[in-house]
Structure 1
Amino acid sequence: MTTASHGWTALVLAGQRPGIDPLAAHFGIETKALIPVAGELMLNRVLMALADAPEIARIIVLAQNTLKLRAHRDLGWAVEEPRIEFRVSGATISGSVLSAIEDPAIGLPVLVTTADNVMLTPATISEFVAGAGASDVSVALVERSNLEAAVGPNRRTWLTFRGGAFTGANLFALTAPGARNALRFWERVEQDRKSVLRLAAHFGPVLMVKLLLRRMTVDAALKAAGSKLGASAAPVLLSDGRMGVDVDKIEDHALAERLLGHRG
């Protein structure tokens, strides 16, 4: 692992929503973050990528049951690593992140990702951090043709704008105080995250109509959305099309194993 020098804190969301996680149940595991992909725990893959990124000074794993994570033998290295900390998360994702950045010991800037973001690499982290500019919030996106060139046709939640369709890459940069406003807003609308129409409706009818008619570019849409929630927001388009793949479903797991197997 390399020595960090740039002072970013990475928050890794490693909990799960109430109830039984279907993917974890399929593999006979209680905790989704502990599902192996191509011979390595999902959480391990993400932590190793972050630990090897020179921009990352500190890593905090947020989960409801940190004892289970810390007890896993394959995460022993992470428990011993001084830059990695395990913290109990709150009731919601956005609330947990907000509590973290309001902790004087953490503050900003913060990079947020998830335990199922198994395609994450140090190179992508560097690309994303370099692309996160002066906005309060930067959102990593992958353009559809880029993803399909890397992995083939794929079912994702596509956000369609003038100039292309994009999917999220489970990577966010929170760099300025306005990010708190974005998190408070997201806490109110989090349940609609998988529905483009319901999510757009929270931003008002004018913006919703423009989005439906594909009148806005992705940059303009995020700028307009940011103005609604009191935070500047901008996209960072990633070059690695595989970053549009996270592991939410059984078919995602099979695809990730194929892609990681090809990586060697």
Structure 2
Amino acid sequence: MPDPTFTAVVLAAQRAGVVDPLAEAHGVSHKCVVPIGGKPLIVHAVEALLATPGIARVRIVVEPDMDARLRALLPVTTTKVDFVPAADNLADSVFAATEGVDGPLIVTTADNVLLTPGAVSAMLRTITTIADVGVAMATRYAVLTAHPEGQRRFYKFADDEYSNCNLYGFGGAHAIKAAESFRSGGQFAKKPMRLLAAVGVVNVVLMLTKQLSLKRALARLGKRFRLRIAPVVLADGSHAIDVDNERTYNCAAVLLEKRAIALNRIAA
């Protein structure tokens, strides 16, 4: 079976009027261009997407005045990248970036530097076979095995504790309405009231009392949108470590170095 053709969206914009502390610490205007492992954050994410079989286009959502700067940072041979002006919130940014796209869609963030083609392919298999929407997660054990300081907050379900991997899949234009849950800005583990607004009181109560497994929780959420929503549980917990602050920056830098060493050994 051939690999499905898909479009990827990378969310790279900065919140209006907010100076990102990590960007400020590294002397740059946007977090997406903070250097790590010899490259800006966003380049790691884009390269993983471009290396995934079936990629058609990568659409980067960012402020228009960053287009030329980001274009210059990407591989010179890249012809599959477009830029989309950022909207006032994540939901509208996703809607704008996916307008006119028919077919599977992958959404991730510019700080998802440990993203791999394997993770993207796993998401694609889910949204082209059993679900309309996929949400990538990793268990607490997998995350802390990857790096003991990788994450400090986890969602607790009946079956396990999980961390989000900032990787989402939509089976097509019909499934994009689920992006409405991003309107408040995400970060549900840090800001529980956003979770309440996104999934509803009953679902939050069931989650807090650990009466729902991850799979059942997402299935109940899917009923709110009349969509099939399924988890994609990634074995490599490093996928849940995005670059949010200096702590996670240092964790990701260590893991990127380990990956580079492993690849060099294979090449040798």
Taking the aligned partners of 1:242 and 1:191, their CA distance within structure 2 comes to 20
**1:38, distance to aligned residue in structure 2 (A):** 1.3
Question: 2:246 corresponds to which residue?
Answer: 250
Specify the SS of the correspondent of 1:125.
helix
Distance 1:175 1:213, change over 3 A: same
Question: 1:68 corresponds to which residue?
Answer: 66
The amino acid that maps onto 1:10 is: A
Cα deviation 1:74-98 (Å, max 9, x = unaligned):
51535x5221112212111111111
Asked if the contact 2:84–2:97 (Cα under 8 Å) also holds between the matched residues in 1, the reply is no
Question: 2:264 corresponds to which residue?
Answer: none
Please state if 1:81 is matched with 2:81. Answer: no
User: What are the equivalent positions in structure 2 for 1:113-124 lying under 5 Å apart?
Assistant: 113-124=108-119
Specify the SS of the correspondent of 2:169.
strand
**1:156, distance to aligned residue in structure 2 (A):** 3.5
Asked if the contact 2:150–2:238 (Cα under 8 Å) also holds between the matched residues in 1, the reply is no
Taking the aligned partners of 2:33 and 2:200, their CA distance within structure 1 comes to 39
Cα deviation 1:34-74 (Å, max 9, x = unaligned):
01111111111111111111121111111014x43423585
CA RMSD of aligned residues (A): 2.2
Please state if 1:100 is matched with 2:97. Answer: yes
**Aligned pairs, number:** 256
**1:194, distance to aligned residue in structure 2 (A):** 4.1
Distance 1:231 1:156, change over 3 A: farther
Q: 5+ residue gaps in structure 2? A: 261-268
Specify the SS of the correspondent of 1:77.
coil
Question: 1:167 corresponds to which residue?
Answer: 163
Question: 1:137 corresponds to which residue?
Answer: 133
Q: How many percent of aligned residue pairs carry the same amino acid?
A: 28
Distance 1:175 1:76, change over 3 A: closer
Asked if the contact 1:9–1:57 (Cα under 8 Å) also holds between the matched residues in 2, the reply is yes
Distance 1:185 1:249, change over 3 A: closer
Question: 1:152 corresponds to which residue?
Answer: 148
**1:17, distance to aligned residue in structure 2 (A):** 1.1
The amino acid that maps onto 2:105 is: V
**1:107, distance to aligned residue in structure 2 (A):** 2.8
Taking the aligned partners of 2:206 and 2:70, their CA distance within structure 1 comes to 48
TM-score normalised by length of structure 2: 0.87
Q: 5+ residue gaps in structure 1? A: none
TM-score normalised by length of structure 1: 0.88
Specify the SS of the correspondent of 2:88.
coil
